[in-house]
A and B are shown apart, each in its own frame.
Chain A
Amino acid sequence: MSGDQINARFRLDWSGFTLDVDLQLPGRGVTAIFGHSGSGKTTLLRCIAGLRRADEGTLEVNGETWQGPGCWVKPHKRPLGYVFQEASLFPHLTARGNLQYAQKRADPQAAVVSFDHTVSLLGIGDLLERRPDQLSGGERQRVAIARALLIAPRLLLMDEPLASLDMARKQEILPYLEQLRTELDIPVLYVSHAADEVARLADHIVALDRGRAVAAGPLQETLARLDFPIRLGEETGVVLTAQVVERDPEWKLARVAFTGGELWVRDSGHPMGDSLRVRVLARDISLTLSHHHDSSILNVLEGVVGDIAADDDQGLAMVRIHIGETVFVARLTLRSVAHLDLKTGQSLWVQIKSVAVIQ
């Protein structure tokens, strides 16, 4: 039993639905629990929190047993923070009252979490005297996240905290979550069905489908798998970590280096040497056999064809391309695959139409 790991095994049958998972999750960083609605993500999270008792299960979090044969730690005795999908602030308390509710009950053995720091981390200093019904959806969720942190948790569970928000509100909260990701040294389990959120926030991913874990591993590797079991369609793509190695103020571009190559991206203000995360969607990659210099596409890299697999969509294929040690995934028509006569091991040019800096 490793100290720095979450071992979660649950089996639960409930009106036609079965959750049956046996997971070893890293004891640090953000692990996305990803899947379509009805895949059992929330149920899994509730089992971990103890809000739901699986018929059979064991749960060990960083060396502590929370559930096992003859062992059941009640939810209020588990040192965890939980952020619910929809607003869950107590309506009879102000934002400050909600935060103090957590602060008063925080684990006395845990390190004290600074009230002021948490408040400024989530940018809610001006909202403290308001009641929940005087806050917007995004503000409520930020207060709820701060409240979950003030309990001094040793595990943070987030159940689609952005799902009930519109696009603008999501964009408002994501930077706070990214900030949190770098500041927290506790493991975070982040339930989501949105591939873009997962790409931005997660270090690890567990894909759930109909109550079973169908893929699990480090985010970058797992997303680059052609047999990634959950259909992402237009959202299929890879995530890379890259360092800023050059900034070109004239064209407002930055050159970033990843293992095996470099990409030009829009300069997002990151200083030189900064590490950032970029996402390249499979639909934004095209392949050519010769290098075109007369193209509008900035990023043309040399790569080697890896596996080729038919996509679920008729007439499309997924192709893995190795650029140095990094794997990209391209989505092409089967006709293009035949036309270029693509074969594993073949060298070609990879044109990347767009690269999104997501962090």
Chain B
Amino acid sequence: MSFSAGDITALWLTLRLASLVTLLLLLLGTPLAWWLARTRSRWKGPISAVVALPLVLPPTVLGFYLLLAMGPNGPVGQLTLALGLGTLPFTFWGLVVASMLYSLPFVVQPIQNAMEALGERPLEVAATLRASPWDRFFSVVLPLTRPGFLTATILGFAHTVGEFGVVLMIGGNIPGATRVISVQLYDHVEALEYGQAHSLSATLLLFSFVVLMVVYGFNRRQKLARMGPL
């Protein structure tokens, strides 16, 4: 197995992208998941649907609309231009924004499910023990929904590593900026460099397998722990 310099650059870029996207999604997705888990607002349905869209939408469709929105004539593009930031397509930060939308359900849904499963009772108990809303969140909600957060982190990261369609649409193929591992792989195949393609593919395959092993192993341990000592 061998990696070219281009492969290493692509791997490193992918790693940076996925880490950053996961971190930002955890920060932004947590309040969103909390709201979705607890609200009785009539907006819950529409917003849940928007969050879940990337699950069913072809990535190229998502990428196409993002390209329009972030382009110089799109609303986001106009905004970023007005702020003096230039336009986002074909930049690393454009990829970050697109990836966040693309991986959003993979982070929000596990956290939301864990929070819904928690129910009202632990929060009420904490309230009668004089814990303020913030205190309740950090001392009760976070520790009790940890498995949800772990699943969210792993799925969000892995899903971002594997994206392709969205990247091609709005990122193109710029080494070091937008040429992520899946694009690099595509280039190898286009160029009939099957050996290189194998190396990258096998790496991704192994990575995905290990990630899922960890998720399932962890969930199993949690279940056993909850059942108590035998």
Closest Cβ of chain B: how far from A247's Cβ, in Å?
44
Count of residues in A whose CB is under 8 Å from the partner chain: 26
Contact of A91 among B126, B139, B226 (CB under 8 A): B226
Question: CA–CA, A91 to B229, complex, Å?
Answer: 14
**B143 neighbours in A (Cβ, 8 Å):** 92
Q: Does B203 sit at the interface, judged by CB under 8 A?
A: no
Q: Is the CB of B226 within 8 A of A51?
A: no
User: Smallest CB-CB separation from B122: which chain A residue?
Assistant: A90
Stretch from B83-91, B109-117, B129-137, B153-161 contacting the other chain: B129-137
Q: How far is the CA of A131 from the CA of B131 in the complex (A)?
A: 21
Residues of A within 8 A of B15 (CB): none
Asked if A105 contacts B228 (CB within 8 A), the reply is no
Quick one: CB contact mask for A37-53 with B, threshold 8 Å, 1 for yes? 00000000000011100
B130 touches A76 (CB 8 A): yes
Please pick, from A75, A91, A92, A106, the residue contacting B128 in the complex, using a CB distance under 8 A.
A75
Produce 1/0 per residue, B193-230, CB < 8 A to A: 00000000000000000000000000000000011110
Q: A10 CA to B184 CA in the complex, in Å?
A: 68
CB closest residue in chain A, given B124: A51
Please tell me if B81 contacts chain A, counting CB pairs below 8 Å: no
B40 to chain A, nearest CB (A): 14
Residue in chain A with minimal CB distance to B136: A76
CA distance A354 to B136 in the complex (A): 51
User: Are B125 and A133 within 8 A (Cβ)?
Assistant: no
Given A133-B226, A134-B228, is A88 in contact with B127 using a C-beta cutoff of 8 Å?
no
B140 touches A75 (CB 8 A): no
Interface residues of A in 181-196 (CB under 8 A from B): none
Given known pairs A90-B140, A91-B144, A91-B226, the reply for A84 and B130 (CB within 8 Å) is no
Asked if B121 is at the interface (CB within 8 A of a chain A CB), the reply is: yes
One of B127, B135, B144 near A75 (C-beta < 8 A) = B127
Given contacts A92-B144, A133-B226, contact A51 B127 (CB under 8 A): yes
B residues contacting A by CB (< 8 A) are: 121-122, 124-133, 135-136, 139-140, 143-144, 226-229
Residues of A within 8 A of B (CB): 49-51, 74-77, 80-82, 84, 88, 90-92, 101-102, 105-107, 131, 133-134, 147-148, 151
Q: A76-B126, A148-B128 are in contact. List 14 more A-B contacts (CB 8 A).
A: A75-B127, A76-B127, A76-B129, A76-B131, A76-B133, A80-B128, A81-B128, A82-B125, A88-B125, A101-B126, A102-B129, A105-B130, A134-B228, A151-B129
